[in-house]
Amino acid sequence: MKHHTAFLKFEAVLDYCERRCSDKTLESAIKFGRQRDWFDSGNQLTTSGEALAEIIMQSPDFMGDTGVSN
């Protein structure tokens, strides 16, 4: 489940970046995220990217499956 959660965090931040880019491409989203220090040069989440992912995933608008059962 750890890898699944890491993937969801990455996707949450990538989606957040893509929504804020004018041309809506993945390349632009990664560049946008790197400029804000959310992704490193290897496209991994940085510490601040992890923090942003946690905030996004706690949002009631987040549609991802965190794997948590009620």
How far is Cα 70 from Cα 15, in angstroms, rounded to an integer? 26
Which residue shows structure tokens 């990217």?
A: 49
Q: What is the pTM of this model?
A: 0.84
How far is Cα 67 from Cα 37, in angstroms, rounded to an integer? 27
The residue extents of the domains of the chain are: 2-58
Return per-residue pLDDT of the chain as tens, 70 residues.
688 899 999 999 999 999 999 998 999 999 999 999 999 999 999 999 999 999 999 988 877 654 443 3
